[in-house]
Homo-oligomer: A and B are copies of this chain.
Amino acid sequence: MRVLTSEVTLQTRGFNDIHDITDRVAKAVTQSGLASGVAVVFVPGSTAGLTSIEYEPGAVADLSEAISRVAPTDIPYAHDAAWGDGNGFSHVRAALIGASYTVPFADGTLLLGTWQQIVLIDFDNRPRSRRVIIQLMGD
């Protein structure tokens, strides 16, 4: 059993910018030489999240709209009243989606469905350079 920690960096635009990072995670598994175990994908920061979806423009837009319905930009946020950075909606969306995504792999392959991609969503209200941690544990 080994633990291998790596990271990738993505340039994001914010406002529900959704990036397919499946290839990055799959590459980490391949390069590790591990056969089976889990990949824990984690985004440090409180205005981004991780989940999976069929990565086609329609579903991606639909997800973005659903999250925006739950935490709209056009209502008052106490975070904004206190800090003035205008990204209260980003914090709420990130907390609802979650910063962590765990996916098992076997025979060196992520056990995702064919149309299931791992996505980073940047909820912030400005472009960001985002680190994503990929930690593999297995043998």
**Is chain A's binding surface mostly helix, strand, loop or mixed?**
mixed
A52 within 8 A of B: yes
Report A127 CB to chain B, min CB distance, Å: 17
Choose one: B2, B62, B104; the contact of A42 (CB below 8 Å): B104
Cβ-defined contact, A59 with B88, below 8 A: yes
Choose one: B37, B88, B113, B133; the contact of A3 (CB below 8 Å): B37
- Copies in the assembly, this chain: 3
Q: Which of A62-93 contact B (CB under 8 A)?
A: 62-63, 66-67, 69-71, 77-83, 88, 91-92
Q: Which residue numbers of A lie inside 8 Å of B, CB to CB?
A: 1-3, 5, 36-38, 40, 42, 44-46, 51-54, 56-59, 61-63, 66-67, 69-71, 77-83, 88, 91-92, 94-104, 106, 111-113, 115-117, 119, 133, 135, 137-139
Q: Rank and list the top 6 A-B pairs by shortest CB-CB distance, nearest first.
A: A58-B78, A58-B79, A44-B113, A45-B113, A104-B135, A1-B1
